[in-house]
Copies of this chain bind each other. A is one copy, B any other.
Amino acid sequence: MTLSKQEMSNQNNLLLTEPTLHYGIDKKVMQLFEASSKSSSIEGKMDMQVATLVDDFLGEINANTDIKLDCLVEKFSNSKAPVDPSTFESYFNYLANNVVAHSIHTSSPRFIGHMTSALPSFVGPLAKLMTAMNQNAVKIETAKALSFYEREALAMMHRLIYNFSDNFYTQYIQNSQSTLGILVSGGTVANITALWCARNASLGAKYGFSGVEKEGLAAALDFYGYKGAVIIGSDLMHYSFDKAADFLGIGTHSLIRVSTDCNNRVNIKELRQTVADCRAKKLHIIAIVGIAGTTDSGGVDSLKDIAEIAQDANVHFHVDAAWGGPLIFSEQHRHKLAGIEQADSVTIDGHKQLYLPMGIGMVFLRDPHLAKAIEKQASYTMREGSFDLGKRALEGSRPGMALFLHAGLNLIGLKGYEFLIDEGIRKTQYMADRIRAMPEFELLAEPDINLLIYRYIPESLRGLSSRNQLSETDNQLIDQLNERLQKNQRQAGRTFISRTTKKTTCFGTEISILALRAVIANPLTTEDDIDAVLNDQIHIAREWGMGNRE
């Protein structure tokens, strides 16, 4: 039988739409999906392989692996995706040897240089549950109970910050027209969201003008008679504010960074003056930012004073409490956040001092209607009046991370969080005391909370240093030593401390010096671990002859 061209083409089309063309692949793939409907042997085997990996990984005491980056560059240089599926056994082995083996032991009690720490044991099982449930928190139709559950968890946090009346929470906790808080992927998105709300609300629709949201920034400034728009905070503002200023169209030059005092708190007098200057120059102030725990050194601004300035100027007051927010749990340390309850918006990160997995940022809003300023809708979802959480958010589809937040509040509880916060600060004081007592180190600021900056001083300069007589050249030498020390320590991998820069006044001129930076948040970190980290640094410095330089 011969076929016409047309018939052949038809037959080809038929063949192409037949699933059997996928020679054997169909079975392999379907097996992966069918397994997900029950704890079958495949998933059970995967679980076992992963459990071994996890145990080995979490059992490590070293902070780091000593593999060189060049070596990793080589390991991961394949740009061709595999044609056929691998077996999970071989892929998980590959993962174990190439990725897990050379990952950072963020849970190590001697990894005390960044804001990443050991997590409570419930996060693993909940991660599995969240993934299996695969809810999309953007809308009710893909996240039913979760939408209300998320609002409840956010209301609990809101209440800790603002402590409004029972009546207030009854009215707003599940009111679809209101937003007490927005769950986002991280502190950066939280800060950006807060400033987005502030910009849109302060340059809103009025007298026939449709507002900045619709008409854009240039038209809004024009309509309101401003020459420009600014955001004001301290020079220790997180880099997410640079992103926000860039993003929102005001430009990073319009992010005004007021200087800080020796303990890393914004200079209130200068801040007040800056606000007055901006008003005199007809610059619209989108927001004044207070910081509760700078990323650099943990400094907490005097939020009460900033609140007063913002209130006097009738300007949005945002608090970046991504790190320090959870001090609210501590009876002993809560007073450091005094004034936060006057903030129009507050950022807190769940993956920092709430000890939850990466990917949980939150922004809380004093006015439950503020987020209306950023509301968006679509015809296939997020209709007005609905309970869809995605209506007032930067992000669209997002996972049910509320599971971790709500669980943390319940499984750790207010008292548990209080204990964790108190312990971190107590151990930081211990470390500060040790540093003060050791001739090898110099403490660079009194720690407000649980971040600490210090540096190593070579033996030959300790005399000058203790008499505050270091020259600029001496400081440069110390900077070089400390940078080398931090890099060598990181590379050796036994312990870990990060580094940053700190402005300091030296012989009348302000100079920037390199600082070693400790973050004491891991509940597993003991005083012995802190000693071990400091001794490791002394050991490394001696090994390199840094102690006896010159």
A262 at the A/B interface (Cβ < 8 Å)? no
By Cβ-Cβ distance, the 7 closest A-B pairs, closest first, are A249-B249, A216-B251, A358-B399, A35-B121, A102-B145, A79-B169, A380-B500
Q: Contacts A121-B46, A136-B114; is A81 near B156 (CB within 8 Å)?
A: yes
Question: B217 and A107: CB pair below 8 A?
Answer: no
A22 at the A/B interface (Cβ < 8 Å)? yes
A263 at the A/B interface (Cβ < 8 Å)? no
Question: A103 and B133: CB pair below 8 A?
Answer: yes
Q: Beyond the given A17-B426, A53-B129, please list 10 additional residue pairs across the A-B interface where CB-CB is below 8 A.
A: A17-B429, A76-B149, A76-B173, A81-B160, A85-B411, A104-B143, A124-B132, A187-B396, A196-B247, A216-B228
Question: A77 and B152: CB pair below 8 A?
Answer: yes
A484 at the A/B interface (Cβ < 8 Å)? no
- CA A302 to CA B166, docked complex, whole Å: 56
Contact with B along A444-484 (1 / 0, CB 8 A): 00000000000000000000000000000000000000000
A62 at the A/B interface (Cβ < 8 Å)? no
Residues of B close to A100: CB separation below 8 A: 129, 133, 145
- CA A121 to CA B34, docked complex, whole Å: 8
Cβ distance A484 to chain B, nearest Cβ, rounded Å? 15
Question: A88 and B30: CB pair below 8 A?
Answer: no
Question: B253 and A215: CB pair below 8 A?
Answer: yes
A276 at the A/B interface (Cβ < 8 Å)? no
A128 at the A/B interface (Cβ < 8 Å)? yes
Q: Contacts A158-B79, A407-B91; is A217 near B214 (CB within 8 Å)?
A: no
Contact with B along A259-289 (1 / 0, CB 8 A): 0000000000000000000000000000000
A3 at the A/B interface (Cβ < 8 Å)? no
- CA A247 to CA B53, docked complex, whole Å: 43
Question: A416 and B29: CB pair below 8 A?
Answer: yes
Of the candidates B126, B229, B252, which one forms a contact with A214 in the assembled complex, judged by CB atoms under 8 Å apart? B252
Question: A251 and B380: CB pair below 8 A?
Answer: no
Cβ distance A13 to chain B, nearest Cβ, rounded Å? 9
Q: Contacts A73-B174, A152-B77, A247-B247; is A84 near B397 (CB within 8 Å)?
A: no
- CA A360 to CA B229, docked complex, whole Å: 34
- CA A243 to CA B248, docked complex, whole Å: 11
Cβ distance A136 to chain B, nearest Cβ, rounded Å? 5
Residues of B close to A67: CB separation below 8 A: 144-145
- CA A429 to CA B124, docked complex, whole Å: 40
A367 at the A/B interface (Cβ < 8 Å)? no
A336 at the A/B interface (Cβ < 8 Å)? no
Q: Contacts A144-B103, A398-B185; is A131 near B124 (CB within 8 Å)?
A: yes
Contact with B along A68-100 (1 / 0, CB 8 A): 010011011111111111101001001100111
A442 at the A/B interface (Cβ < 8 Å)? no
Question: A240 and B396: CB pair below 8 A?
Answer: yes
A119 at the A/B interface (Cβ < 8 Å)? yes
Question: A212 and B82: CB pair below 8 A?
Answer: no
Cβ distance A124 to chain B, nearest Cβ, rounded Å? 5
Q: Contacts A55-B38, A145-B98, A412-B85; is A106 near B79 (CB within 8 Å)?
A: no
Of the candidates B40, B47, B64, B135, which one forms a contact with A106 in the assembled complex, judged by CB atoms under 8 Å apart? B135
Of the candidates B29, B99, B242, which one forms a contact with A145 in the assembled complex, judged by CB atoms under 8 Å apart? B99
A345 at the A/B interface (Cβ < 8 Å)? no
Question: B213 and A75: CB pair below 8 A?
Answer: no
Question: A57 and B187: CB pair below 8 A?
Answer: no
Residues of B close to A104: CB separation below 8 A: 135, 141-144
Of the candidates B64, B213, B426, which one forms a contact with A251 in the assembled complex, judged by CB atoms under 8 Å apart? B213
- CA A25 to CA B35, docked complex, whole Å: 40
Q: Contacts A99-B146, A107-B37, A396-B186; is A128 near B124 (CB within 8 Å)?
A: yes
Q: Contacts A186-B397, A418-B22; is A79 near B173 (CB within 8 Å)?
A: yes
- CA A21 to CA B65, docked complex, whole Å: 38
Q: Contacts A79-B152, A132-B57, A498-B141; is A122 near B217 (CB within 8 Å)?
A: no
